[in-house]
Amino acid sequence: MDRHIRLDTIAEKLEALCRQDGPVSGQAAQVLSEAVDELHAFQRENLDFHEIVEHVDHSIFVTDGEGNVLYVNPAYSQNTNVQPEDVLGRNVFDIVQEGRIFTGGASCDVIQNRKRVFRLSTTYKTDPPLMGYTVGVPVFNRDGSLSKVVVSSRPLSTLKLLQGDFEQFLHNLEEIRKREPVSSVNENSSTLEARPMIGHSKALNGIWEKIRHVAASDATVLITGESGVGKEVVADEVYRHSLRNNRPYIKVNCAAIPASLLESELFGYDKGAFSGASAGGKAGLFELADGGTLLLDEIGDLPLDLQAKLLRAIQNREITRVGSTKARRLDIRFLSLTNSNLREKVAAGTFRSDLFYRLNVIPIQIPPLRARPEDIPELVEHFLEIYRRKYQRSITLTPKSMDILTRYRWPGNVREPENALEYLALCCPEGDVVQESVVLDLLRQDTVDEALQPVSTLGDAVSHYEKTLIEQALRNTNSMRSAAEVLGVNVSTISRKIKQYNIHLP
């Protein structure tokens, strides 16, 4: 229990005893004894804390919640030449406004914003004035009010002492980058590009709900769906909402790395493991992901022999480098992506059933875009807005153009409309308004026959197909006579069908 809470509890006991009638001397003595013990312990802790703060070489500057200076440690005076009597008991806002002792700093901003801040500060008791970098932290009471502000600072000149270490750090970072395959990426939530799932269909809402339920766990997640549906976007959202979102996020495409290199890239290798191995060995992607998340893309393409090693890594939470016998314990959350049907691969003997069950603890199936057409208008507007800004175009779609895009089946899923809208933003020949003819040309389907609403009868299907053929012939030939020749009918038949189907001549 927190010592402040224990002291409060003892105080409540004493207060209750004082309100009682009759003799309470025995109880009071016991409670007072507890209070004395706690106060002695509190005093010892306070002395320990005071000794630590008095000897650190960081400048410590403390105010109350109103900005009145309560304490500065000896290092503050040594680093800045500002003596305690110059600031103690004064208000930090007055000191900063006066501008004789120091300006800048973090105290005022912490008091105003009630959150941690990083600021530069200049003190004027030295010649020349001294610049420092400061970190201010708020301390709150239990009722949420601001109790104190603690500011720690160092002179900027001390950063020069780190120059050698920083250069070594950059060298080490460059060596790591050289060893990383281009297919793997190390990210965290602060740098991860936000690529939201666009749409409010029932299917997408269900996926969002599942992400919210499973993100905070460490359960393995298998995300499946056709190419281009946004599997990696979903994986990124799982990571972003997880408790590991400030830890490593390593991505590896199992199909992009040659099978001969994949084992050493994943598991790493020891010195002398094979010809050409680095003298000091190399950490694999599993080790780089330790404490964080490992995303295995195209998991269905993982060779069978590596499937066994991956299974052991997931089951036992440990790996063994190539050329080593030493097992290394790891703490990793696994996410996997595939556009393959892993159940079919299991039945065909090309994917281990035990690995499939380990990966498939939390399955997330992303439906193709054609199965959620209600999301298409929102997607189209999303990509339009991106490319309006990128290319400085005020491009818009006619209602008919939007209808065609909505009813098209988009075999490339989300990736396809993204590319299509970029093309329209750049190359629209009709000015800033995209006409349906431009959209039809882009999609290379004159009436977007695949995207039309399902026909209900055989007669409807025949009529629909006949109309499609006539429109295509007219567009390709630009005349009824030539279209009739292409289709093997006379001009009168073409003329009659044009009226029947209300076909617009090109």
Q: How far apart (Å, rounded) are the C-alpha atoms in residues 493 and 506?
A: 18
- The pLDDT score that the predictor gives to residue 447 is 41
Strands 221-224 and 333-338: parallel
Tell me: pLDDT of 286 over 80.
yes
Confirm if 362 and 216 have CB atoms less than 8 A apart: no
Q: How far apart (Å, rounded) are the C-alpha atoms in residues 129 and 122?
A: 7
Tell me: pLDDT of 47 over 70.
no
Query: For the chain, what are the domain ranges?
Result: 3-53, 56-160, 180-365, 370-451, 458-500
- The pLDDT score that the predictor gives to residue 48 is 58
Q: What's the angle, vertex CA 406, arms to CA 401 and CA 410, rounded to 5? A: 110
Write down the H helix ranges in 372-490.
376-391, 399-407, 415-427, 436-443, 458-477, 480-487
Neighbouring C-beta atoms of residue 475, cutoff 10 Å = 15
For residue 409, what is the DSSP state?
A: -
User: Which residues lie below 8 Å from residue 390, measured CB to CB, with a gap of 6+?
Assistant: 425
Q: What's the pTM value of the predicted model, to 2 decimals?
A: 0.52
Going by C-alpha positions, the residue among 337, 363, 366 that lies closest to residue 203 is 366
pLDDT confidence bin for 49, thresholds 50/70/90: low
Q: Which CATH class is domain 180-365?
A: alpha beta
Dump pLDDT digits (tens) for 348-364: 999 999 999 999 999 99
Tell me: pLDDT of 367 over 50.
yes
In the block, tokens 């190359």 appear at 427
Dump pLDDT digits (tens) for 71-86: 999 989 988 999 999 9
Going by C-alpha positions, the residue among 38, 29, 28, 53 that lies closest to residue 8 is 38
Q: How far apart (Å, rounded) are the C-alpha atoms in residues 149 and 69?
A: 9
Dump pLDDT digits (tens) for 416-457: 888 888 888 887 765 678 887 878 887 864 344 444 444 445
- Tokens matching residue 3: 């010592």
CATH topology classification for 370-451 = Helicase, Ruva Protein; domain 3 (1.10.8)
Per the DSSP assignment, residues forming a β-bridge with 135 are: 118, 152
Going by C-alpha positions, the residue among 327, 324, 332, 326 that lies closest to residue 269 is 324
- The pLDDT score that the predictor gives to residue 449 is 46
Dump pLDDT digits (tens) for 471-489: 877 877 777 887 887 788 8
Dump pLDDT digits (tens) for 296-308: 999 999 988 889 9
Write down the H helix ranges in 92-242.
92-98, 107-113, 163-179, 202-214, 231-240
pLDDT confidence bin for 184, thresholds 50/70/90: very low
Listing DSSP states for 3-61 in one string gives HHHHHHHHHHHHHHHHH--S--HHHHHHHHHHHHHHHHHHHHHHHHHHHHHHH-SSEEE
Tell me: pLDDT of 41 over 80.
no
Q: What is the mean pLDDT of residues 396-410?
A: 88
Answer whether CATH 3.90.1170.10 is correct for domain 56-160: no
